[in-house]
């Protein structure tokens, strides 16, 4: 299957090859692209898809342009048609960004482009299944967006630093809980029973039951600037660590979004930010800190909130990734390059120390 994506140049940077040679590279924002229209043999005489890129306010488009791109649920500035062999597998509204997470997550700092198509195919399959079941995707309204300026960027950066520290705490709790369970309760069945008993006891003490499930309703409240208790993020950390550390399975990503959004909603006023906007920024920043996937996190922010606050989310993800160090939810994750310079991380160095000139 042919592949296509729309992007735009956002700047220049440099990378270093294995010999330490500087290579100038162009930085391109590739996607997210949304399928706006399908062309079929039966109706149009050929097979193709029209992709849309760069979401903009409706007032910036003509009425025909806005009406056309709104078929995909968004107002998109750039529209391009691509003739693809298997365009029938795509649907209006599909997004081509989940692939990036799969490419980033295993070896941080090193993309295996040979895996691009398998990852893309997996993302499209995962996107198609809920659609077949009639389940809508998650989209949120971004509220309280400040004007872009030095003060607002500093405020957003401060919140991102807090989210990075919280991501370190969350990863530490998750791994330490598992180690403590195994150390004191070697039998896996006793371990599971003890974990269940602890969670039940905490649930009865806490009383609301907000921290037992995915907590989607709490995330929605936080993104609206509402919070039942300011320490909700800490309780979710505790419940998740006790549950998964005991051997139960249920995922770490949605709890990370819960923790990030409630932390941001509670802490945003301390930085002079709107609680709803703080919840959105912190949710994406903390997610980035625990998975070490900054590009996928930025794409996620666009998918969930649109592109209006892109620079704030990019700043938050960059800082969270930088400050979260080698902490990760995934014990099998490899951080290939140091986060502080362009050198290989210590455990990947070969043939002695690398010169500081690299």
Give the separation between CA 269 and CA 354, rounded to whole angstroms.
Answer: 44
* pLDDT at residue number 355: 29
Q: What is the mean pLDDT of residues 302-316?
A: 87
Q: Where are the alpha helices (DSSP H) in the chain?
A: 41-44, 63-69, 98-105, 116-132, 150-184, 188-206, 216-223, 232-245, 253-267, 275-291, 294-305, 310-323
What domains can you pick out in the chain, each with its CATH number? 1-90 (3.30.160.810), 150-335 (1.10.3080.10)
- The residues that bridge with 15 in the sheet, in sequence order, are 23
Q: Is the entire prediction scored with pTM above 0.95? A: no
- Percent of the chain beyond pLDDT 90? 31
Q: How far is CA 322 from the centre of its chain?
A: 15
Question: If pLDDT is split at 50, 70 and 90, which confidence band does 94 have?
Answer: very low
pLDDT of 350: 44
The first and second tokens of residue 312, run together, are: 């704030």
Task: Give the model's pLDDT for residue 150.
Answer: 93
Out of 38-42, 170-174, 299-303, 346-350, which region has the weakest mean confidence (pLDDT)? Answer: 346-350
The two most distant CA atoms of the chain are separated, in Å, by 68
Q: How confident is the model at residue 348 (pLDDT cuts 50, 70, 90)?
A: very low
Angle, helices 310-323/294-305, rounded to nearest 10 degrees: 150
- CB under 8 Å to 75, separation ≥6 — which residues? 55, 56, 57, 58, 60, 61, 66, 69
Closest by CA to 323, choosing from 176, 108, 166, 100, is 166
Query: Lowest-confidence range among 135-144, 211-220, 276-285, 293-302?
Result: 135-144
pLDDT higher at 179 or 96: 179
SS3 55: strand
> If you average pLDDT over every residue of the chain, what do you get?
78
Closest residue by Cα to residue 312 from 279, 354, 349, 345? 279
Q: What is the pLDDT of residues 211-264, one digit of tens each?
A: 888 888 899 999 999 988 999 999 999 999 999 888 887 778 889 999 999 999
Report pLDDT for 356. Answer: 28
């Amino acid at each position: 299957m042919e592949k296509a994506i729309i992007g735009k140049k956002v700047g220049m940077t440099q990378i270093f090859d294995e010999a330490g040679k500087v290579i100038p590279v162009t930085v391109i924002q590739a996607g997210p692209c949304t399928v706006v229209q399908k062309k079929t043999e039966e109706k149009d005489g050929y097979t193709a898809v029209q992709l849309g890129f760069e979401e903009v306010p409706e007032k910036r488009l003509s009425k025909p342009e806005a009406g056309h791109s709104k078929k995909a649920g968004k107002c998109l500035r750039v529209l391009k048609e691509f003739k693809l062999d298997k365009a029938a597998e795509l649907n209006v509204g599909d997004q081509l960004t989940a692939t990036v997470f799969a490419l980033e997550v295993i070896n941080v700092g090193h993309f295996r482009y040979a895996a691009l198509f398998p990852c893309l195919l997996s993302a499209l399959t995962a996107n198609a299944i809920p659609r077949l079941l009639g389940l809508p995707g998650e989209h949120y309204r971004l509220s309280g967006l400040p004007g872009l300026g030095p003060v607002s960027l500093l405020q957003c950066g401060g919140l991102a630093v807090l989210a990075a520290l919280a991501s370190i705490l969350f990863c530490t709790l998750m791994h330490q809980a598992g180690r403590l369970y195994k150390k004191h309760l070697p039998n896996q069945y006793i371990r599971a029973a003890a974990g269940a008993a602890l969670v039940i006891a905490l649930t009865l003490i806490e009383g609301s039951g907000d921290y037992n499930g995915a907590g989607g309703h709490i995330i929605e409240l936080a993104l609206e600037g509402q919070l039942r208790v300011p320490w909700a993020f800490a309780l979710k950390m505790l419940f998740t660590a006790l549950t998964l550390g005991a051997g139960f399975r249920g995922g770490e990503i949605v709890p990370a979004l819960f923790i990030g959004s409630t932390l941001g909603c509670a802490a945003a006023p301390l930085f002079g930010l709107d609680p709803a906007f703080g919840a959105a920024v912190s949710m994406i920043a903390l997610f980035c800190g625990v998975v070490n996937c900054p590009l996928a996190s930025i794409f996620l922010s666009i998918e969930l909130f649109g592109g209006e606050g892109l620079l704030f989310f990019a700043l938050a993800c960059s800082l969270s990734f930088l400050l979260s160090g080698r902490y990760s939810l995934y014990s099998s994750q490899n951080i290939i390059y140091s986060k502080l310079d362009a050198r290989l991380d210590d455990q990947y160095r070969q043939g002695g120390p690398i010169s500081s000139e690299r």
